[in-house]
Chain A
Amino acid sequence: MLYNGLPEKIPVAIVDMDNSHTSHMFISRLNALQSVDVVMTVDNFSEGRKAMQRNEVLGMLLIPEDFEQRTFDAKQPIISFYTNDAFLIPGSLLYKSFTTMSVLASAEVVQDVMLSVGLTEHRIMSLLQPITIDSCALGNPWLNYSVYLCNSFIPTILQLMVLLVTTYAIAGELKKGSVRSWLLASRGSRSVALIGKLAVYAMLFVVVGLLLQSIMYGYMRFPFHTTPYSMIVAMVLLVMASQAVVVITIALSPTLPVAYSTVSVVGVVTFSLGGFSFPVADMYVPFRLLTNLLPMRHYFLIYVNNALNGYTVYYCRYSYVVLLVFVVVAIILLPRLCSVMASYEKR
């Protein structure tokens, strides 16, 4: 879906009130940028705004009258640009492209002026940009959106599926009243029946999870700066912890519909509360605490630490521990789930 990594050729409208050589040069250079596609030239601001409201363009650049004249007279003509942040990602990409082009246009003028006052070319180059920012985007130097999105959202979808399917597997038996035949298979031991059932599903989901991991890190070559074991263990723990959440929920909820609703909410809210798009540090305190109750949050921290950044496992040790705590709590609550099962046997 996101195979380009970044949206390219974002449609843009130009309002060129100058129509001079300089403004044409400026526009054709802007159009040459990878992220910009000048799809229309309009006569005034209102027309451009209307095109924006019709979703035909996502940004607009306005070149004022007498642009060329004022540039050469050193009267500082102002270029205005408008970006639509109702679509945040293309909007901010456009902002970046527009800024770059404006700065480059300025540099060209500065270069001309400096030449005219007699500076040497070597001197001018360093004066145009005295300070460069050498940006090192660690782990994802291509700023690839796909790397960022797939690594958080695919495991979250997996977690959602584990939550829903496991609930269906346990609660379905309870509701259909097939507990007795289920227990026959385990020779009457409720906990053996439960663990056996969960183990089968766990194996299935771990296989799916590892397959997804191998597609991401093997086939699609996403950053993977760690030993495979640490991520395999993380995936196994993610699946088990998600199952643990189901066990805890069913054990504690008064009725089965409540359990279904709870796991659905947990599964869906993880997409927001996991802190993949909006950082946990900036959320309100109650939500910040709640994020700890999501297995996926801990898996995400492990992924960032190991696969993306390549730090040692030591720095995400707590995340592994917390995932284990989910499982331990579920084991503690297993007797309670067994008594829930017992109440359904009588019916």
Chain B
Amino acid sequence: MRSDKDNLLCRCRRVLAGVRYYWLREYRHVLRDAEVLVFFLLLPIAYPILYALIYNPEVVTDIPVVVVDDARTALSREIVRCFDATPAAHIVGYCANLDEARSMMMQRECYAIILFPGSFSRDIDRGEQSSIVFYTDMSLLLNYKELYMALNNVVLDIESTIRLQQMPIGLSSSITDIVANPIPYTSVVLYNPTSGIASFLIPAVLVLILQQSVVLGIAMLAGKAHEQGRGWFERRNYWTQLVGRMLCYSSIYLFNTIYLLHFIPSIFGYPQLGTLSDIMIFSLPFILSSICMAVTLSVMVREREQVYLLFVAMSVILLFLSGIAWPRYAMPAVWRWLSYIFPSTWGVEGFVQLSTMGACFSDVAQSYCHLWVLVVFYMITARVAVHYDNRAMR
């Protein structure tokens, strides 16, 4: 009995010593390779800053608009004045006719045209319905959205005044009040108060940068091993090697994760409602599954340069699959199923919930469990992949 126990202890100790050996040895591999260091350190540090700065203005303001005012009345001028006062629009000028406005649009001097027909105010004074024609360039949906919402709000506001003016004289104020605005509404935009594009896009990009830098760096290490004519793992103790390497990479990524998921949002002032500890606990399976996925995929890399070819374009597709731009439930089923196998999908979802939306940990339980499932799945695939890799290299 005693000897059995000793035996077990000895084995445990041996395995742990093995893990420690591979763990420390991997640091040397990483530190000796400048390109790997670029992927593990420089890319996660510099890229988010670049992205954040590109999108830092957050919202579009003062989109150039021209007016063709055939009515030339106080009311049409008031609408134009109110529209100009909204943050979205900037009236760059009045044009004599639609042709002139159109030529300004062709030269990209304006993005939209507002046309008041000649009978605009006359129709309203007669108690008939009148209309404004609003032409927009559709190259950017963001511009259209901002301009249309601004114009719509201005018109709704002015309409209630017109309604009041046109009511028969002698009504009590309670009735005129109800006619002006019977059911007012308040609208609250949650979790992204400015409706800014950076606050919505960057959190997803941060998670994706984490995963992709892991994949690129590890694939680079594998490429180097293959170029030197050896397998990516030694031909023994695969599990020990895998665990040792996972410890090495994840210890490096401890710092990257804190930097990307905590400091970048706080430097650039993105919504940050979660606690650091929640986010770190959540990112553990994310990083581990990314590492194991990277090990699995990296056996495909026969020379270092293939890393760029294989994995750079992947990032773009993963951003779509993460569901940040296009809700996942609205995707065709094939894409939705495909998105399940990437850690980034669950990572983005969970991180946005925790950090941007201030959800508590139980709310992200589903993503969290999925990530642990992916860790197990990719550990097994990694084990199988390195086995076949060694066979192929022999």
Asked if B185 and A78 sit within 8 Å, CB to CB, the answer is yes
Q: Is the CB of A172 within 8 A of B305?
A: yes
* Chain A stretch 71-122: residues in CB contact (< 8 A) with chain B: 71, 74, 76-92, 95-96, 98-99, 102-103, 105-106, 109-110, 113-114, 117-119
Known: A79-B183, A119-B168, A130-B129. A264 touches B308 (CB 8 A): yes
Contact partners of B357 in chain A: CB under 8 A: 52-53, 84, 86
- Please name the residue on chain A nearest to B108 by beta carbon: A315
Tell which of B17-25, B191-199, B379-387 binds the partner: B191-199
Q: Given A53-B357, A264-B308, A284-B57, A133 and B155 touching (CB < 8 A)?
A: yes
A254 and B199 CA atoms in complex are apart in Å by 37
For the complex, is A148 an interface residue (Cβ under 8 Å from B)?
A: yes
A49 cross-chain contacts in B, Cβ below 8 A? 190
Which of B56, B163, B191 neighbours the largest number of chain A CB atoms within 10 Å of its CB? B191
Give Cα A91–Cα B324 distance, bound, in whole angstroms: 11
Asked if A92 and B195 sit within 8 Å, CB to CB, the answer is yes
Q: Which residue of B lies closest to A79 (CB)?
A: B185
Residues of B near A78 (CB, < 8 A) are 183-186
* A278, B199: Cα distance in complex, Å: 13
Cβ contact within 8 Å between B54 and A315: no
B119 close to chain A: CB less than 8 A: no
Tell me whether B330 is interfacial, beta carbon within 8 Å. Answer: yes
**Do B139 and A304 touch (CB < 8 A)?**
yes
B130-161 near A? 1/0 per residue, CB < 8 Å: 11111111111111110011011001101100
A115 to B62, CA, bound (A): 42
A55 at the interface (CB under 8 A from B): yes
* Contact across chains for B60 and A117 when beta carbons are under 8 A apart: no
A130 and B183 in contact, given A1-B331, A89-B326 (Cβ under 8 angstroms): no
- Please measure, in the bound complex, the distance between the C-alpha atom of A14 and the C-alpha atom of B168, giving whole angstroms: 38
Q: Which residues of A contact B27 (CB under 8 A)?
A: none
Q: Which B residues are CB-close (under 8 A) to A80?
A: 185-188
Which one of A71, A117, A130, A268 lies within 8 Å of B175 (CB-CB)? Answer: A117
Stretch in A158-166, A189-197, A207-215, A320-328 with 4+ CB within 8 Å of B:
A158-166
Segment from B243-251, B260-268, B309-317, B370-378 that makes contact with A: B309-317
The docked-state distance in angstroms from the alpha carbon of A163 to that of B203 is 27
- Distance A297 CA – B358 CA, assembled complex (angstroms): 37
Query: Given the complex, which residues of B lie within 8 Å of A96, measured CB to CB?
Result: 149
Interface residues of A in 261-298 (CB under 8 A from B): 261, 263-264, 267-269, 271-273, 275-279, 281-284, 287
Q: Is B3 an interface residue (CB 8 A)?
A: no
- Which one of A2-10, A180-188, A227-235 is at the interface? A2-10
B55 contacts A272, C-beta separation under 8 Å:
yes
Give Cα distance in the complex from A261 to B56, angstroms: 24
Nearest opposing residue in chain B for A37, CB measure: B329
Interface check B41, CB cutoff 8 A: no
Stretch of B233-241, B278-286, B288-296, B348-356 on the interface side: B348-356
For window 24-83 of chain A, which residues contact chain B by CB distance below 8 Å? 49-50, 52-55, 58, 71, 74, 76-83
A22 to B302 alpha-carbon distance, docked (Å): 68
Measured as residues with beta carbon below 8 angstroms from the partner, the interface class of chain B is: 35 or more
A134 contacts B133, C-beta separation under 8 Å? yes
- Interface segment among A138-146, A237-245, A333-341: the answer is A138-146
Q: Does any Cβ of B come within 8 Å of A343's Cβ?
A: no
Nearest A-chain residue to B183, judged by Cβ: A106
Does any Cβ of B come within 8 Å of A236's Cβ? no
CA A145 – CA B163 in complex, angstroms? 36
Q: A296–B312 Cα gap in the complex (Å)?
A: 17
CB-CB < 8 A to A92: which residues of B? 145, 195
User: Smallest CB–CB gap between B363 and chain A, Å?
Assistant: 5
The reply to whether A272 and B178 form a contact with Cβ atoms under 8 Å apart is: no
On chain A, the residues within 8 Å of B189 by CB distance are 82-83, 85, 91, 95
Q: A89-B326, A92-B145 are in contact. Are A53 and B359 (CB under 8 A)?
A: yes
Smallest CB-CB separation from B359: which chain A residue? A53
Chain A residues touching B, majority SS: helix
Q: Does B200 interact with chain A (Cβ within 8 Å)?
A: yes
Q: Which residues of B contact A50 (CB under 8 A)?
A: 363
Measured CB to CB, the closest approach of chain B to A219, in angstroms, equals 17
Give CA–CA (A99, B79) in the complex, Å.
Answer: 20
Cα of A79 to Cα of B362 in the assembled complex, Å:
30
Cβ of A201 < 8 Å from any Cβ of B?
Answer: no
Is B118 at the interface (CB under 8 A from chain A)?
no
B335 located at the interface, meaning its Cβ lies under 8 Å from any Cβ of chain A in the complex? yes
Q: A53-B359, A74-B177 are in contact. Are A277 and B159 (CB under 8 A)?
A: no
Report A-chain residues with C-beta under 8 Å of the C-beta of B148: 133, 135
- Distance A86 CA – B142 CA, assembled complex (angstroms): 16
Q: Once the chains are docked, how many angstroms separate the CA of A171 from the CA of B330? A: 42
User: Can you name the residue of chain B whose Cβ is closest to the Cβ of A291?
Assistant: B54
Q: Are B183 and A71 in contact (CB under 8 A)?
A: yes
Chain B positions within 8 Å of A284 at CB level: 53, 56-57
Given A172-B305, A260-B308, A88–B195 Cβ distance below 8 Å?
yes
B163 touches A160 (CB 8 A): no
Contacting residues of chain A (147-172) with chain B, CB-CB under 8 angstroms: 148, 153, 157, 160-161, 164-165, 167-168, 171-172
Q: Which of A85, A109, A110, A132 contacts B131 (CB 8 A)?
A: A132
Which residues of chain A are near B320, meaning CB under 8 Å?
Answer: 1
Contacts of B308 in A (CB 8 A): 164, 167-168, 260, 263-264
A283 touches B145 (CB 8 A): no
B57 touches A282 (CB 8 A): yes
A200 at the interface (CB under 8 A from B): no
Assembly CA distance A138 to B315 (angstroms): 32
Of listed A8, A83, A127, residue having the most chain B CB within 10 A: A127
Distance in angstroms from A297 CB to nearest chain B CB is 12
Binding site for A on B (CB under 8 A): 34-35, 38, 50-51, 53-57, 59-61, 63, 79, 106-108, 124, 127-145, 148-149, 151-152, 155-156, 158-159, 162-163, 166-168, 171, 174-175, 177-179, 181-193, 195, 197, 199-201, 203, 271, 305-306, 308-309, 312-313, 315-316, 320, 323-327, 329-332, 335, 349, 352-353, 356-360, 363
Q: List 14 A-B contacts (CB under 8 A).
A: A7-B326, A50-B363, A55-B349, A77-B183, A102-B185, A106-B181, A123-B127, A131-B129, A133-B131, A137-B136, A143-B141, A148-B140, A276-B140, A278-B55
Instruction: Give A contacts to B, CB under 8 Å.
Output: 1-4, 7-11, 49-50, 52-55, 58, 71, 74, 76-92, 95-96, 98-99, 102-103, 105-106, 109-110, 113-114, 117-119, 123, 125-127, 129-140, 143, 145, 148, 153, 157, 160-161, 164-165, 167-168, 171-172, 175, 256-257, 260-261, 263-264, 267-269, 271-273, 275-279, 281-284, 287, 300, 304-305, 308-309, 311, 315
The 4 tightest CB contacts between A and B, nearest first, are: A53-B359, A85-B192, A74-B178, A109-B182
